[in-house]
Amino acid sequence: MLKKSIPFFLFFSISFSFFSQEEVKPRTKLTKFLSKSYYSVNFGGIFYPFSNDNLIDGYQTGTFSRNIFSGRLLLGHKFTDNLSLQFGTLRPASWFKYDNVNNIGYERSVWINAWSLSLKKDFNINQNTSFYTEAGIANLTRFGFSINDKVIYEDAHYASLLYGFGMQHKLNDTWRLSLNGTFLPKSSKHNQPSISQVSLGFEYHLQQLDDKTANEYASNHYFFPDNILQLSYGTSAIGFGLNRFLGMSLKVGNFESFGIPVFWVGEVKAKHSLSLTYQRLVYRTKKIFSLDWGASVTYFQSELGEENVFAFSIFPVLRFYILRKKGFDFYTHYSIIGPAYLTKSDIDDIKSGPKTTFQDIMGFGVFIGNERKYNLELRIMHYSNGNIFTRNAGIAVPIQFTLGKTF
């Protein structure tokens, strides 16, 4: 149990320090923590030499399907200009597949996913170019497969060392281009081959505004609520069409996967849900964007077994204002990877995962009235652990109708 709690605890600690920094006035200025933070997006090739040697005796195939395209996303915080702590995930775009196992038509996939926490050290070559090394630990999860209830390649979940190196070129104070190499060693104990990734990407470093500009933004007429209290209700009677559309899994006519891939669905379905949510402004730009932190308590009842579950979560909220008019402000928002605790695990006898998980929310809404005191919102929710654990079927909460009050 302790081993399974470590990845969640690390991320919870990072999230807490992210949101608990001393408040800086006005909120058009970043907190001290955010002003030293960055995010990194990288895409490239991933290499993991799975073979028939990984399967149990009596099972093999002559062909494999590989798609080497992969990504790595990171959040970083700078202790100094040349030393950073990074947290993120690495995974292939699609899974490795064993084709036609034993020549009788069985096709099975192997999933891998690695969440990492690492230190990155930069060594300057000149004013704009640097070489870096990286070392840390990764939570590696592998989903194996079975045939006729017989395990052919077992699941695995363990802590692995992670190494990295690369080159970076600084375009300006905000943007850096990166060439990266990342490596996770082989584990004979867990029957796992090594994992290597070569990628290209960028780092975006947040920049603090000067006092004059920050004060100008803070004194403009655009509305950003300091606090929001919301009550939400949802029911599966209206279906999961929006969840499936945003997860690109909606069936329409001959299309089996109609939609756009920006959210998740989940095998466990909520029949009823009720949420109480509090959000507080952390940072805002001149007009378009704000960052809030939130805390919520959600009750839901599952569809199949009618199990009653409570979820407690803290989370970030990215809010984008799309339309500002005299009587309302229209926005969309996205909240991802909010640490959450569920009062039940493996709901409806589905492998939805342990009680420690993450909450994701996506929706749109309006602030209404001359003083924008009231809030209306539609949103969907999702709970899953991001493949940190080998049980991750996920939970889908359908559209919730939300009433809110700003103060």
Q: What count of Cα atoms within 13 Å lies in the side-chain half-sphere of residue 237?
A: 5
pTM of the model: 0.81
Q: How many domains does the chain have?
A: 2
Report yes or no on 11 lying in a domain. Answer: no
CB 353 within 8 A of CB 346: yes
- Quick one: tokens of 11? 């991320």
Range name among 67-76, 130-139, 190-199, 388-397 with the lowest pLDDT average: 388-397
Report yes or no on 82 lying in a domain. Answer: yes
Report yes or no on 51 lying in a domain. Answer: yes
pLDDT, position 13: 46
d(CA 95, CA 269): 25
Task: Tell me the CATH number at 326.
Answer: 2.40.160.20
On whether both 201 and 224 belong to a single domain, the answer is no
d(CA 205, CA 28): 17
On whether both 343 and 396 belong to a single domain, the answer is yes
pLDDT at 320 over 80: yes
In DSSP terms, 268 is beta-bridged to 395
pLDDT at 250 over 90: no
Asked which of 179, 205, 231 is the last residue of a domain, the reply is 205
On whether both 225 and 193 belong to a single domain, the answer is no
d(CA 163, CA 157): 19
Q: Which residues of 341-372 are buried (b: 16+ CB within 10 A; e: fewer)?
A: bbeeeebbebebbbbbbbbbbbbebbbeeeeb
pLDDT, position 25: 58
Residue-level length of the chain: 407
pLDDT at 175 over 60: yes
CB 11 within 8 A of CB 339: yes
Chain-wide mean pLDDT for the chain?
90
On whether both 168 and 239 belong to a single domain, the answer is no
On whether both 37 and 180 belong to a single domain, the answer is yes
Provide the residue range defining the domain that includes 376.
220-406
Report yes or no on 16 lying in a domain. Answer: no
Asked which of 178, 205, 232 is the last residue of a domain, the reply is 205
Report yes or no on 162 lying in a domain. Answer: yes
Asked which of 159, 177, 205 is the last residue of a domain, the reply is 205
d(CA 122, CA 119): 10
pLDDT at 21 over 50: no
Question: In this predicted model, which residue has the larger pLDDT, 106 or 158?
Answer: 158
Report yes or no on 5 lying in a domain. Answer: no
Report yes or no on 15 lying in a domain. Answer: no
274-289 pLDDT tens trace: 999 999 999 999 999 9
On whether both 395 and 246 belong to a single domain, the answer is yes
On whether both 230 and 192 belong to a single domain, the answer is no
d(CA 61, CA 348): 35
Range name among 23-32, 64-73, 256-265, 291-300 with the lowest pLDDT average: 23-32
On whether both 347 and 382 belong to a single domain, the answer is yes
On whether both 134 and 261 belong to a single domain, the answer is no
Mean pLDDT of 381-403: 92
179-218 pLDDT tens trace: 999 999 999 999 999 999 999 999 999 999 999 999 999 9
On whether both 188 and 231 belong to a single domain, the answer is no
Tell the residue number behind the tokens 């002003």, with chain if given.
Answer: 35
395: how many CB neighbours lie within 10 A of its CB?
27
Report yes or no on 329 lying in a domain. Answer: yes
What backbone phi and psi angles, to 5 degrees, belong to 112?
-135, 150
Percent of the chain with pLDDT over 70: 94
On whether both 170 and 281 belong to a single domain, the answer is no
83: how many CB neighbours lie within 10 A of its CB?
11
pLDDT, position 4: 41
On whether both 97 and 144 belong to a single domain, the answer is yes
